[in-house]
Amino acid sequence: MKILVIEQPLNNRGDESAHRGLMMKLIQEYPDVQIKVLFYGRKDKEINEFKVIARQIEYVNIPFDATTRRYFGRVIKSLMILNMPYFLYLLPKIRIMLRFYREADYILCAPGGMNMGGFQDWIHQAFLNLAMYEHKKVIYYGRSIGPFPETTYLNRLFKKNSERLLKYFSYLSLRDAKSQLIAKSLRIKYTPTIDSAFLIETKSEMPHSFVKEMNGDPYIVFVPNSLAWHKNFKSYSFDDINFFWITLLDNLAESYPEHKIVMLPQTIGYSKLLPDGYIYFNEIKSQSVFSDRVFVLDEQYGSDIQQTIISKASFLIGARYHSVIFSINQAVPFISLSYEHKMNGVVEILGKKDCEIDLVEEFANQPISDILQSDLIERIVKKTQALNSIKDTQKLAHDIANDGFEELKIFINNLSTHRK
């Protein structure tokens, strides 16, 4: 069996964990599978951060220089917006990609975010269109979809293209309740699942530098999100959002004087336009009056080590989707500060809405001064004081993940039997 993985996100520890979970489960269940993970114009360092080292998996990177890659992306997006997707076949690099498509039994779209929806990712649609034009079996696994606004022509075109693709896919599994509700409203058949990071147990040792820094003290994990990059928070500046996080950090440190605060960067190597990693977290730390009790983990450490660190925390407050996934995977109590429906949806599936505060609703485009004068930060800190064991939630998440994968196995095995 030959599987080609496309649209694998990089530079994000959460996407790394989802990738590792699905790849390791596939090679465990199908020892003779041949998997190729296809990229174009990415840096070797970016890919190496994600690699699962196994004889069954090969990572392929079609070479592009940075300028050509940007031009390539713009051309693809333009062809999709002009509703001329068949012209993709005229692009030489596309013809190289198609060689890999044609030799695969299945095209597997890697687990990930709302490219088919909130982000309106035309390039994402283009690469899936190619699989459809080649009449390939497409597995769209463990993703989120929607929302699909219809206020503009491009909104409506994107939704139309998305519906056609979603109905074409041979196997569609959705990882959150909101995405599943959207699929139902569009009368699209799907398999319910949850994030593929729940498919495997993580085992890593604590970094020596971290153990030394903690010195046996209890700690809280805090994972903010710069948010101003997101469409739901476009009325705020980065400074506005930073001020909110600094205020929350200081209140948290004041409420838990015996604890240290550990910040885990979820994104790797992002620019100042999307400051959400190690440098950004250190900027927040530097402006805290309790900076001597705040530790920012170096971004070199992967998702397994992040989960090991979370496993020993008193609790986690996370405004990044996978920080919450990691916490549940380690049975550590959490507060989800949700900024997208993928976060709302996963806590809903697991029956943990009491552990969530919806930042979209709370901010509601109010001035940041009004938000800081409200009781929001007080309520967040107060929620942490009512947290209980989530062992049952961890088990439920693992059960849903494994059930979802079993459905994928049934699909693959039925097709394999039919071929014979």
Q: Is there a contact between 171 and 190 (Cβ–Cβ < 8 Å)?
A: no
* Distance of alpha carbon 68 from alpha carbon 59, whole angstroms: 21
Whether residues 189 and 282 share a domain: the answer is no
Q: With bands split at pLDDT 50, 70 and 90, how would you rate the model's confidence at 269?
A: confident
Q: What is the pLDDT of residue 65?
A: 81
Q: What is the pLDDT of residue 141?
A: 97
Domains held by the chain: number: 2
Q: What is the pLDDT of residue 118?
A: 81
Q: Is residue 359 scored above 60 in pLDDT?
A: yes
Q: Is residue 151 scored above 80 in pLDDT?
A: yes
Cβ burial 274-289 (10 Å sphere, 16+ → b, else e): ebbbbebbebbbeebe
**pLDDT tens-digit profile of 239-254?**
999 999 999 999 999 9
* Distance of alpha carbon 167 from alpha carbon 116, whole angstroms: 13
What would the mean pLDDT of 207-228 be, rounded to a whole number? 95
Q: Which domain holds residue 75?
A: 2-199+397-419
* Distance of alpha carbon 42 from alpha carbon 63, whole angstroms: 8
Q: What is the pLDDT of residue 66?
A: 77
Q: Is residue 302 scored above 60 in pLDDT?
A: yes
Whether residues 179 and 217 share a domain: the answer is no
Closest CA to 163 of 131, 189, 188, 126: 188
What would the mean pLDDT of 160-176 be, rounded to a whole number? 96
Q: Is residue 310 scored above 90 in pLDDT?
A: yes
Whether residues 38 and 164 share a domain: the answer is yes
Closest CA to 100 of 213, 15, 6: 6
Closest CA to 64 of 39, 34, 35, 36: 39
Whether residues 383 and 403 share a domain: the answer is no
What would the mean pLDDT of 334-343 be, rounded to a whole number? 95
- What is the percent of the chain where pLDDT is above 90? 86
User: Looking up tokens 């959002």, which residue turns up?
Assistant: 241
Q: Is there a contact between 92 and 71 (Cβ–Cβ < 8 Å)?
A: no
Q: What is the pLDDT of residue 272?
A: 53
Whether residues 235 and 295 share a domain: the answer is yes
Whether residues 221 and 252 share a domain: the answer is yes
Residue 351: give its domain's CATH number. Answer: 3.40.50
Q: What is the pLDDT of residue 68?
A: 80
* Distance of alpha carbon 280 from alpha carbon 272, whole angstroms: 9
Q: With bands split at pLDDT 50, 70 and 90, how would you rate the model's confidence at 416?
A: confident
Whether residues 268 and 159 share a domain: the answer is no
Give this prediction's pTM. Answer: 0.94
* Distance of alpha carbon 395 from alpha carbon 412, whole angstroms: 26
Whether residues 164 and 241 share a domain: the answer is no
Q: What is the pLDDT of residue 418?
A: 63
Whether residues 244 and 111 share a domain: the answer is no
Please state whether 364 falls in left (phi above 0), alpha (psi between -120 and 50) or beta. left
Q: What is the pLDDT of residue 361?
A: 96
Q: What is the pLDDT of residue 153?
A: 94
Q: Is residue 274 scored above 60 in pLDDT?
A: no
Whether residues 143 and 228 share a domain: the answer is no
Q: Mean pLDDT in the chain?
A: 94
Burial of 387 (0-12, 13-18, 19+ CB in 10 A): middle
Closest CA to 320 of 113, 181, 175, 177: 113
Q: What is the pLDDT of residue 270?
A: 64
Whether residues 328 and 406 share a domain: the answer is no
Whether residues 151 and 296 share a domain: the answer is no
Q: Is residue 413 scored above 70 in pLDDT?
A: yes
276 versus 7: the higher-pLDDT residue is 7
